[in-house]
Amino acid sequence: MFVSEPSVWAQSVFQSAKLGDLRRTKRLVQLAAQLAAHTGQSIVQSLSSSADIEAAYRFVRNEHISPAAIAEAGFAATVHACEAFDCLLALEDTTSLEFSHQSVADELGHTTSHKNSSGLEAHSVLLFAPGAQQVVGLIEQHRWARDREAHGQKKQRAKRAYEEKESYKWQRASQAMATRLGPQMSKVISVCDREADIIEYLRYKTDTQQRFIVRSMQSRCIEEDQNKLYAFSETLHSAGERVVQVQQKGGRKARAARCDIRFAAVTVQVPANKTGQPVPMFYVGCQEKDTADGLCWHLLTNEVVTTARQAQHILECYERRWLIEDFHKSWKTGGTQVENLRMQSKDNLERMIVLLAFIATRIQQLRCYGRQAEQAKNLSCESLLSPLAWKLLWLKTEKNKPPKQVPSMHWAYLNLGRLAGWNDSKRTGIVGWERLWEGWFRLQTILEGYHLALSLEQEM
């Protein structure tokens, strides 16, 4: 399921889809394979015949095909893949999908950018196996349109029940995961950013014994000394150091941050405007040294943390949270280009959104393999590229006769980047999203040109 030729991948992910007719499932598998082979391109660009294009659009417009049924097939494939791992990180976050196509604007809601935007909110949960350093798959995704009339009414949130608030999405996601994973849920650790620092969510995870790591958003009241979490953390002794690789983002330069580590057991009090018992958990802090405004993480967890090694493990898990942001890039700007969809209704749009979400996950799995140099060097590139594709890539980038031995996945990863002009000027060995998928598109063009030339030669 992880790394395979598009048709094999599509079959493994969507073959169990219950769409009311086996012919619909077969069409889903075919469409997914074709879109995966032409990542980032439209249905028209991805399919070779007018008959296939018409069949694809009939599938997308079929009101009897539920987007949820498509998603559940993908989730079921992820559940099956989980059996191979002892520990899984559930990396989750929310993103906005904005669409400029006016035909569906009335069915969509405003997004975080502005009131007049048109789009959907999507909360996704991606499973990652830290032992194997591999993205396992998408296990949950919930999408909704915000009420335009409710824009700007954030101050009234205190009057609404917890289950009616948008912040309930964190608990909803955990409940959906638990239903699908069953006993396997015991090996899953939810890893969330500051938006999940909600007392109801923390209590739910603790009461149900679901494992979590949540970055603190506020200095909560605690029963320990100093009464406030962040002030209490300053009184703790250092439990060692950790070097955190801060990634480049916007105007921020990449750097290695040297941090102090601290940990302790804490009991978080319930806010004065809410009811319930205090919630016992553990605190892990990571504060950059010699600077007041550097990296600072305050993490809350129900994982037992009584040693420096356990604290280091919590930080290792949290450092993987960036992968969910990477998934959003592969879904939106750097991969499937989901926001470029131009469907005539919200339902049609959602069928394609779901399908592209799983293709985006595949993109991330492939990139994850490529970035792991040692593992990727032992993996044949034919799990990604056909024999003809890698040989054409070799001729284009290596400028000599292809070898008899199949190159590695790592070679394919680097040379797809080089095909798009990447030259590793920063000496990181990491190909960016844009160069990687530009290289993929160029290789597809080379393949199509080869097949066209071959067909013309045969006709002559």
Global pTM reads 0.87
234 and 306 assigned to the same domain: yes
Question: Token digits for 408?
Answer: 């590695």
Question: Token digits for 184?
Answer: 């396997």
The tens-digit pLDDT sequence of the chain (460 residues) is: 455 678 889 999 999 999 999 999 999 999 999 998 887 788 988 888 899 999 999 999 999 999 999 999 999 999 999 999 999 999 999 999 988 776 677 778 778 766 677 889 999 999 999 998 889 999 999 999 888 776 655 656 667 888 889 999 999 999 999 999 999 999 999 999 999 999 999 999 999 999 999 999 999 999 987 789 999 999 999 999 999 988 766 667 778 889 999 999 999 999 988 888 999 999 999 999 888 788 999 999 999 999 999 999 999 999 999 999 999 998 998 778 899 888 888 899 999 999 999 999 998 887 776 666 566 677 788 877 788 889 999 999 999 999 999 998 888 888 988 998 888 877 777 787 677 777 877 887 888 788 888 877 777 6
Residue 320 per-residue DSSP state: T
In a domain, residue 262? The reply is: yes
Q: At what angle do helices 346-371 and 67-82 cross, to 10 degrees?
A: 20
Q: Could you tell me the residue range of the domain that residue 230 belongs to?
A: 217-310
In a domain, residue 445? The reply is: yes
Split into its structural domains, the chain has a count of 2
Q: Which of 38, 36, 54, 56 is nearest to 46 (CA)?
A: 38
In a domain, residue 231? The reply is: yes
Q: Are strands 88-98 and 188-192 parallel, antiparallel or unpaired?
A: parallel
304 and 378 assigned to the same domain: no
In a domain, residue 183? The reply is: no
CA distance 279 to 209: 12
In a domain, residue 5? The reply is: no
CA dihedral (238, 218, 195, 87) positive or negative: positive
Residue 400's CATH number = 1.10.740.10
Query: Final residue of a domain: which of 286, 310, 334?
Result: 310
In a domain, residue 400? The reply is: yes
Please count the helices (runs of H) and the strands (runs of E) in the chain.
15, 9
In a domain, residue 304? The reply is: yes
**First and final C-alpha spacing in the chain:** 41
Q: Is residue 303 a contact partner of residue 213, using CB atoms and an 8 Å limit?
A: yes
In a domain, residue 36? The reply is: no
Query: Final residue of a domain: which of 289, 310, 331?
Result: 310
Query: Final residue of a domain: which of 310, 328, 346?
Result: 310
